[in-house]
Amino acid sequence: MLKYYNFNLKKYNAYRLSSVCAKAIFPENEEEIIQIYRNNPDKKIILLGNGNNIILSKEYYDALFIILNNCFDRVEINGTEIIAQSGCTMLHLSELALENSLSGFEVFYDIPSSVGGAVFMNAGASGEEIKNLVVKVRYFDLDDFQIKEITRVEIGFEYRNSFFQKNNNKLVLKTWFKLSEGKPEIIKAKMDDIKQKRWAKQPREFPNCGSVFKRPSERFVGPMIDELGLKGFTIGGAQISQKHSGFIVNINNATGKDILSIIKKVQKQVKKKYGVDLEVEQRII
């Protein structure tokens, strides 16, 4: 279990925002995570996976960050079932599935999310959602300091939402996924096609956290922003992507405040012109 003080989180959030926390700990197993919470009852603790769907709104956090990326990431494969700790990335999981001729994770290939983050928000792409592959989840309940398990049905997945978003005191530790047998060449071809299409449409050349807003029922977000003339709009080092208006990118040492300022402007103008309330998909910390 590695510990650091006055730790810069820049490498651990997809926007590459330079935010410092008072203390950061990298646990390797469930026992160490429980120990951290027991030893710090009065300390603000923030759990961080791959940092892909978060906005660090402060430049300094007087808090303890538990970082799961590159440490709490073990994977087991039993037939068509894959069991993964929360710090494992969906990229790595997709590659492991391919190596074992298992189909189901193709659409999540090249999505820079951790398993915990994907389950937390019910990640999805191309009409598919992570909920369709989940069997059950093992989690740590901060209310009574017990480790529990919950089935997919009990989780109550919704569009970009889950039991865990509604209960921030329940921490995803491990997830069981059920895949299906497939031909490696077909799985690989689908993964390559998905990656190519994403790189063609999305601003992968700049740090970003994917789609900023949840898709409203009325209209697509990108076209509304385009029609408002906001494509390329910049505040500080943050910019509405010139490649895809549904993304905000860090073009020059952006801060969380820069990103939040753009979000507020877009929400205000979209509400004024279209009467649509845009809900932020990313988690603001």
CATH number at residue 277: 3.90.78.10
Our measurement of the distance from residue 230's CA atom to the centroid of its chain's CA atoms, rounded to an integer in Å, reads: 25
67 forms beta bridges with 48
Q: Is residue 191 part of a domain?
A: no
User: Last residue of some domain: 48, 67, 86?
Assistant: 67
pLDDT < 50 regions, the chain:
none
Residue linked to tokens 């926390």? 21
| 179 plus 269 within the same structural domain | no
Query: What's residue 168's pLDDT?
Result: 86
In CATH, what number is assigned to the domain containing residue 47? Answer: 3.30.43.10
Neighbours of 87 (CB within 10 A): 26
- Domain span including residue 233: 203-284
User: Last residue of some domain: 186, 212, 235?
Assistant: 186
| 30 plus 108 within the same structural domain | no
Write the pLDDT tens digit of every residue in 122-164. 988 878 899 999 999 999 999 999 999 999 999 999 888 899 9
Residue positions counted in the chain: 285
Amino acid type, 243: K
Query: What's residue 65's pLDDT?
Result: 98
| SS3 per residue for the chain | CEEEEEEECHHHCCCCCCCEEEEEEECCCHHHHHHHHHHCCCCCEEEECCCCCEECCCCEEEEEEEECCCCCCCEEEECCEEEEECCCEHHHHHHHHHHCCEECCHHHCCCCCEHHHHHHHCCEECCEEHHHCEEEEEEEECCCCEEEEEEHHHHCCECCECHHHHCCCEEEEEEEEECEECCHHHHHHHHHHHHHHHHHHCCCCCCEEEECECCCCCCCHHHHHHHCCCCCCEECCEEECCCCCCEEEECCCCCHHHHHHHHHHHHHHHHHHHCCCCCECCEEC
Tokens of 231: 């494509």
| 114 plus 159 within the same structural domain | yes
Q: Is residue 193 part of a domain?
A: no
Q: Is residue 32 part of a domain?
A: yes
Tokens of 152: 């997919």
| 91 plus 182 within the same structural domain | yes
Query: What's residue 218's pLDDT?
Result: 79
Overall domain count for the chain? 3
CB 161 within 8 A of CB 129: no
Query: What's residue 7's pLDDT?
Result: 98
| 83 plus 149 within the same structural domain | yes
Q: Is residue 154 part of a domain?
A: yes
Calculate the dihedral angle through the C-alpha atoms of 89, 91, 97, 100, rounding to the nearest 10 degrees.
-100
Half-sphere exposure of 167 (CA within 13 A, CB side): 16
Query: What's residue 274's pLDDT?
Result: 95
Query: What's residue 99's pLDDT?
Result: 97
Q: Is residue 247 part of a domain?
A: yes
What whole-number distance in Å separates Cα of residue 24 and Cα of residue 141? 21
In CATH, what number is assigned to the domain containing residue 101? Answer: 3.30.465.10
Tell me the pLDDT of the chain averaged across its residues.
94
Q: Is residue 155 part of a domain?
A: yes
Write the pLDDT tens digit of every residue in 168-197. 899 999 999 999 999 999 999 999 999 898
| 181 plus 84 within the same structural domain | yes
Query: What's residue 242's pLDDT?
Result: 95
What whole-number distance in Å separates Cα of residue 28 and Cα of residue 33? 8
| 44 plus 80 within the same structural domain | no
Query: What's residue 135's pLDDT?
Result: 97
**Active-site annotation, residues:** 160, 211, 281
| 56 plus 93 within the same structural domain | no
Query: What's residue 160's pLDDT?
Result: 86
